[in-house]
Chain A
């Protein structure tokens, strides 16, 4: 079972790169991926790992030969993915609040 990590965090750095700095083509995240795309991708990844863990738990409850360790690993992956998503969301909302509370 291959669950891709939430690698979507990388694109958040790209808007803050100096515009003159040229990144090698093909290396690093694409510059035109928006924050919304990143969150959508992250949500999809979290949803996939949740579904995977859910099916394993169901299989175990149904008496299928699923090993307990495998179920716990799948649920751990899902839990960590959610924690990662929440952490990214907290950072994003925090940045937004910092801007909104700025004195002008």
Chain B
């Protein structure tokens, strides 16, 4: 019999996609956040996803969950910005470690991931309704 397991698995995927988008939004919002030279820059974060393993894990699994964030370890760019109140004695500031192109492509993936998980829930609902039609 078709239960509601797919709903919960799909919901975990939706939650992950939403978390992913939250992190991307934060990265994009900080795309111009400069720091004084020598200080730690803003670094883009990426969501680490992991499958849910629990005592009730059946053969089909229970979904996915975000387990944490990792930061981009790349070296920040030092750019001259004379007149910037945050600039050091040489007129340099530290640019954030965010690649806008990467964030935009990640945003497309997060959006499509949300849609795909939504579709699994929709399909499960359609199957349940089809099952209710048996014998009518």
Contact = CB atoms under 8 A, between A and B. Distances in A.
Interface residues of B, number: 19
Interface string B1-13: 1111001101100
Contacts, number: 44
Given A3-B4, A76-B125, A83 B11 contact: no
A7 B8 CA distance: 17
A74 to B, nearest CB: 9
A93 interface: no
B85 interface: no
A9 B1 contact: yes
B18 A77 contact: no
A5 B128 CA distance: 11
22 contacts: A1-B8, A2-B8, A3-B4, A5-B1, A5-B4, A7-B1, A67-B15, A67-B18, A69-B11, A69-B15, A70-B11, A70-B15, A73-B7, A73-B10, A73-B121, A76-B125, A77-B7, A80-B4, A80-B128, A84-B128, A84-B132, A87-B136
Interface of B: 1-4, 7-8, 10-11, 14-15, 18, 118, 121, 125, 128-129, 132, 135-136
